[in-house]
Homo-oligomer: A and B are copies of this chain.
Amino acid sequence: MNEPMEFLYPSKWLTKASTGERVVSELRMQILSGRIESGTILSENKLAAEFSVSRSPIREALKILSAENIIRQERMGAVVIGLSEKEIEEIYDVRILIETFIYQRLVRSDITDLVKELNKILEMMKVSIKYNDADEFSLQDLQFHETIIRAANHSYILMIWNNLKPVMEGMILLSMRKRFKENHQDFERIFTNHALYIEAIEKKDKTLMIQSLHQNFDDVQGRVEDMWKSQEILAEGGGTK
């Protein structure tokens, strides 16, 4: 354990962060990236030694990571779960679930401010692409979706988002960094998809919304189809009361 440590989490995002927050961010990235393999057993004492901090912030970190479902705390040591293909699909299930829910709420409310805000983020995404800043782009991608979710003013849906967000952030960071090198043309497409997303919200056009959700999530995982099928089936029987 004496190799010089290379940090995976952007240090500039941790300017005001406490030791505990640094630990949890870095530990999460190491798990998501596979640097710490799933199945590994984490000991509070060892981690404290490796990070050169006391057990207090480590304990805090392990509690958080276990609430995020990427580790599992047992009697002796915490077992790393990590993210397999299955877990990633599941995360996108949840994202689609909450975003479709939120969309329905938004349709009924005034969304002029939201649309303005989303366009601002969209322009910032463009700048990130121009300057090849994968980390910044990831942040804006997340910010985009969070802004939509916040607009619905639903504290428990927001709670779900907050519980999911750090893992999403890590995944997206790693994925975007890779794509910036290998598939740079992806970003124009992601950009266009988000523009479509805004249009769907602005026009309150369901068909467009479905299409854009498709495009936003299909390219990451081929998962939207099933979701919609579920909701169609449910609705078929839905002439309730």
Nearest chain B CB to A98 CB, angstrom units: 8
A50 at interface, CB cutoff 8 A: no
User: Does B241 lie within 8 Å of A93, measured CB to CB?
Assistant: no
Q: Which of A85-117 contact B (CB under 8 A)?
A: 86-87, 90-91, 93-94, 97-98, 100-101, 103-104, 107
User: Does B69 lie within 8 Å of A156, measured CB to CB?
Assistant: yes
Copies in the complex: 2
Chain B residue numbers with a CB within 8 Å of A214 are: 240-241
Interface of A is mostly: helix
A235 at interface, CB cutoff 8 A: yes
Q: What are 27 A-B interface contacts by the 8 Å CB criterion?
A: A60-B63, A67-B159, A69-B159, A87-B155, A90-B155, A94-B157, A97-B97, A97-B98, A100-B234, A104-B233, A107-B233, A156-B164, A160-B160, A163-B163, A206-B237, A207-B237, A210-B237, A210-B238, A210-B240, A214-B241, A225-B241, A228-B238, A229-B238, A231-B231, A231-B238, A232-B235, A234-B235
Chain A interface (Cβ within 8 Å of chain B)?
60, 63-64, 67-69, 86-87, 90-91, 93-94, 97-98, 100-101, 103-104, 107, 154-157, 159-160, 163-164, 206-207, 209-211, 214, 224-225, 228-238, 240-241
Closest 9 CB pairs of A and B: A235-B235, A104-B230, A206-B237, A90-B156, A232-B235, A207-B237, A69-B159, A232-B238, A231-B231
